[in-house]
Amino acid sequence: MLFNSFEFILFFPVVFILYWLLFSKNRVQQNLLLLLASFFFYGWTDWRFLFLILFSIGFNFFIGNSIHNTQSEKIKQRWLWLAVAINFGILGYFKYFNFFLDSINTTAVLFGGQALLHSAKILLPVGISFYTFQSISYTVEVYRGNMPAEKNFGRFALFVSFFPQLVAGPINRPQVLLPQVNNLKPLEADNLIIGARRILWGLFKKVVVADRLAFFVNLVYNNPESYHGLSILCATIFFAFQIYCDFSGYSDIAIGVAKMMGIDLMRNFNKPYFSSSIREFWSKWHISLSTWFRDYLYIPLGGNRVSKVKWYRNIFIVFLISGLWHGANWTYIIWGGLHGVYQVVESIGKARLKPIKNEGLRRVSNFFKIIANFVLVGIAWVFFRANTVNDAFYMIKSMFILKPGKLFLGEPPTIIGYALLAVFLLLAIEIGQEYFTGIKVVNNSRPAIRYAGYFFLIICILLIGVLNGGQFIYFQF
């Protein structure tokens, strides 16, 4: 079920009314309602997916309690490795099995052999990467002794399947979300206002910006050889904003929906395109995933507490795996590898550069760093969005070759007009929020300005928004 669909417009008010009006004084009933609503929400796409998530919940619940009830460190480690093997085994089968078969076939052909392995018909369960990572974090935290195992199966099931964050995150930590599941808050007007405001902003980013930009991005990236360099350059810039608004818009709606029910989910984005370095970018982009890799892969590998060569190796491994997490395609692996190279080169360069003392020069330098950072991120986005590696290299090669001719090949000019307007509105609002504290649209301290901001966003959604229930990009991961 999509947040921007007619079905969700009917679904959420019913859940919300039942949650607060009928069961607001009984935590067990609230949890049961949310659990049933979450399974309904998830099963709406394909009811067969419910069997897999129920197995995942039951297995990780059992493993967590087995670790908690065991005194032997060796046996705890065995339980942990079993959990890692089963969780990643399931994820690997559904998400990467055909990718590895195709890679083997391609390698065989390159060396003069024949492609003998046939791809299997495997349907990728929605959100499997997200709830698998959330389950693994729970098992690891129990193993580390940072939290006790959850004894109530229903509460653990709700932790894994809580519908706002189930299919595309944020990937919440068990120490943060489980206590809230165990102690739900009473109805508070502030939570309703903050949550509704976050939903409104998320919908604006999704239907006004992301879905508008998608028209032109899809035209170019699905048929790149039909467009010249300027078109490809525009499509790449538009995709940078499309994927940001699509994914952060989903996160905002998820956070807002949860907030209206008294539950706080972690922040997932913090205006990443205003970052002046790749490292800063990843501290602001998909925060729940980047911190997951930091805590459960980068630090266990040794982090930066090792020699420089091993440190750079750790950075590169994390980003390669991050790329693979995003999809079973070499385009994603190259995307992750590029960010790994960026990080390593940036770390080497930072150690050799002297800080600028003059305030004015520092601001000018920071501005150009933001632009350069956006260019580097944009080049990497080409591989993320391109259908094939060959398409990605072709687009990068032709992106900066300006040829005479029309920007479009007969498509309505309103497509790029709406796209430019959407990007302008987004940047105007976010620049105001980031650099001018007094200029805020949806959370201004003055009621007149605040409500005018609400009205403005609603009008934009109704007049400019693409209200056809377009799917979110990260549903495929």
pLDDT for residue 100:
78
pLDDT surpassing 60 at residue 405: no
Q: Please give the average per-residue pLDDT across 356-375, as a whole number.
A: 86
pLDDT for residue 296:
94
pLDDT for residue 333:
94
Q: Please give the average per-residue pLDDT across 418-441, as a whole number.
A: 80
pLDDT for residue 403:
62
Which residues fall within 8 angstroms of residue 403, CB to CB, at 6 or more apart?
Answer: 228, 229, 230
Q: Which amino acid is at 437?
A: T
Each residue's pLDDT tens digit, 269-287: 999 999 999 999 999 999 9
pLDDT for residue 340:
95
Of 126 and 351, the structure prediction assigns the larger pLDDT to: 126
Other residues' Cβ atoms within 10 Å of the Cβ of residue 406: 12
CA angle at residue 375 from 371 to 381, to 5 degrees? 140
pLDDT surpassing 60 at residue 409: no
Of 408 and 311, the structure prediction assigns the larger pLDDT to: 311
pLDDT surpassing 90 at residue 348: no
pLDDT for residue 441:
61
Q: pTM of the entire structure?
A: 0.90
Return the active site residues. Answer: 326
pLDDT surpassing 60 at residue 313: yes
Q: Kindly state the DSSP code that residue 440 receives in the 8-state scheme.
A: -
Of 239 and 464, the structure prediction assigns the larger pLDDT to: 239
With cut-offs at 50, 70 and 90, classify the pLDDT of residue 355: confident
Of 443 and 264, the structure prediction assigns the larger pLDDT to: 264
Lowest mean pLDDT among 105-114, 280-289, 428-437: 105-114
pLDDT for residue 167:
85
Q: Please give the average per-residue pLDDT across 118-140, as a whole number.
A: 86
pLDDT for residue 382:
95
pLDDT surpassing 80 at residue 358: no
CA angle at residue 437 from 194 to 242, to 5 degrees? 65
Arithmetic mean of pLDDT over the chain: 87
Lowest mean pLDDT among 21-30, 40-49, 315-324: 21-30
pLDDT for residue 402:
66
With cut-offs at 50, 70 and 90, classify the pLDDT of residue 111: low
pLDDT for residue 362:
79
pLDDT for residue 97:
82
Q: Which amino acid is at 458?
A: I
Cis peptide before 170 (omega within 30 of 0): yes
Long-range pairs of 269-277 with CB within 8 A, sequence gap ≥ 24: 269/244, 271/430, 271/433, 271/434, 272/244, 273/240, 273/244, 273/370, 273/374, 273/377, 274/370, 274/430, 274/434, 275/370, 275/373, 276/366, 276/369, 276/370, 276/373, 277/346, 277/350, 277/369, 277/373
With cut-offs at 50, 70 and 90, classify the pLDDT of residue 6: confident
CA atoms within 13 A of residue 297's CA, in its CB half-sphere? 19
pLDDT surpassing 60 at residue 404: no
Which of the residue ranges 118-122, 222-226, 362-366 has the most confident prediction, judged by mean pLDDT? 222-226
Q: Please give the average per-residue pLDDT across 174-191, as a whole number.
A: 86
pLDDT for residue 445:
65
Of 240 and 46, the structure prediction assigns the larger pLDDT to: 240
| Burial class (CB within 10 angstroms; exposed 0-12, middle 13-18, buried 19+) of 418 | buried
Which of the residue ranges 109-113, 308-312, 413-417, 441-445 has the most confident prediction, judged by mean pLDDT? 308-312
pLDDT for residue 119:
67
| Burial class (CB within 10 angstroms; exposed 0-12, middle 13-18, buried 19+) of 47 | exposed
pLDDT surpassing 60 at residue 407: no
Kindly provide the b/e burial profile for residues 193-218, where b requires at least 16 CB atoms within 10 angstroms of the residue's own CB. Answer: ebbbbbbbbbbbbbbbbbbbbbbbbe
pLDDT surpassing 70 at residue 440: no
Q: Please give the average per-residue pLDDT across 193-221, as a whole number.
A: 92
Of 404 and 5, the structure prediction assigns the larger pLDDT to: 5
pLDDT for residue 29:
84
Which residues fall within 8 angstroms of residue 7, CB to CB, at 6 or more apart?
Answer: 1, 44
pLDDT for residue 400:
77
pLDDT for residue 186:
77
Q: Please give the average per-residue pLDDT across 369-382, as a whole number.
A: 94
